[in-house]
Amino acid sequence: MQILKKKNIQNFHFQVLSWSIYLWNSELIDYALKNYDFEYLQKSNVSNQKDSDIMVFVHRTFTWCNFSFLKIFLEPFFNKNADFIARNIHSIVEMSFADFTCLFTKEFIKNSNFNIDYRSNEDNKTLLQAAIFGNNDRAVEILISNPKLDINAPIFRSYPAIHYCCQTINLKIPKLLFNHPKINFNITNTKGIDALPLILIRGCFYHAQILMKYCPHTKVPLGVISYKCLRDNHLYSLKILLKHAKGKWNNFDPEKTKEEIRSFSSTKERDKFLKEFQQIL
């Protein structure tokens, strides 16, 4: 019973400080630090047993941009605990993407333990994936400017950045990627599909319009893309694709595309899809 009571008290103290950082409540932060057991934030060479707790404070600080807590408490802690930084450098860099100025990011990537090719065990994720998913174009720009980064390597499962960029709502990011001097527009996923059809069938028509300016063609048959756009109700994506195909593709053949749609469609959906295709065309 005493062990449980002690554990609950420790958890309460931890939550007080954590939420105080989130709320930018300096009075409550001071109260927590003075009255509860957070001496490890003042020490050097803190053991890795405290890493998870400290990383919560780091995450809250970056996510809510609590520069006051960073300056007064975390920066002195970082300066005294190089081993902590070394153990957690990639998680810290990823957390720093919450600040869209990337002031923290630029400092932490200078650390000698930072590896631009770092991958987490979860879905083969990289830091570039985190920056894209977090809609932080400044972080993306910093990462892809590193000459050691392979811009065409997978950043999430088997998907390279040129495929994964449809996950962001920040349209500066696909432009940054498409302008990279080493980007391979013809790179495919494990199923042999390149970027343009992947982006279109996800309904990301803004991204597709940007990509079409750099890479106007795809090896995937128009009928395949059209069918998947119709199936998933991404009709505006299909409209953009057909307009593009009419103007840029010498082998554009509407009748052949209809036959392909007919062959992929079930009996139930065939008439509906062909009617919608004709209306968009």
Q: pLDDT tens, 108-142?
A: 999 999 999 999 887 889 999 999 999 999 999 99
- Binning the chain into helix, strand and coil, the percentages to the nearest 5 are 65, 0, 35
Output the pLDDT for position 30. 87
Output the pLDDT for position 233. 95
Output the pLDDT for position 67. 86
Residue found by looking up tokens 């000698």 in the block: 112
Output the pLDDT for position 31. 85
Which residues of the chain, if any, have pLDDT below 70?
A: 1-10
- Judge residue 215's burial from the number of C-beta atoms within 10 Å of its C-beta, 0-12 exposed, 13-18 middle, 19 or more buried: middle
CA–CA separation, 155 and 131 (whole Å): 11
Output the pLDDT for position 192. 84
In sequence order, what DSSP letters do the residues of 116-134 get, joined into one string? TT-B-SSTT-BHHHHHHHT
CA angle, residues 82, 87, 91, in degrees to nearest 5: 110
Q: Which two tokens stand for residue 28?
A: 């409550």
CA–CA separation, 32 and 187 (whole Å): 53
Output the pLDDT for position 9. 62
Return the SS3 of 149. coil
CA–CA separation, 245 and 160 (whole Å): 25
On whether the pTM is more than 0.75, the answer is yes
Q: In this structure, what are the phi and psi dihedrals at residue 97, rounded to the nearest 5 degrees?
A: -65, -15
Q: 79-85: long-range contacts at Cβ-Cβ below 8 A with a sequence spacing of 24 or more?
A: 80/43, 80/44, 80/45, 81/43, 81/44, 81/45, 81/46, 83/45, 84/46, 84/48, 84/51, 84/54, 85/111, 85/113
Q: In this structure, what are the phi and psi dihedrals at residue 101, rounded to the nearest 5 degrees?
A: -80, -20
With beta carbons less than 8 A apart as the criterion, state whether 252 and 241 touch.
no
Output the pLDDT for position 15. 87
Residue found by looking up tokens 């749609």 in the block: 261
DSSP summary character for residue 40: G
CA distances from 107 to 43, 53, 276 (A): 22, 22, 53
CA–CA separation, 97 and 125 (whole Å): 15
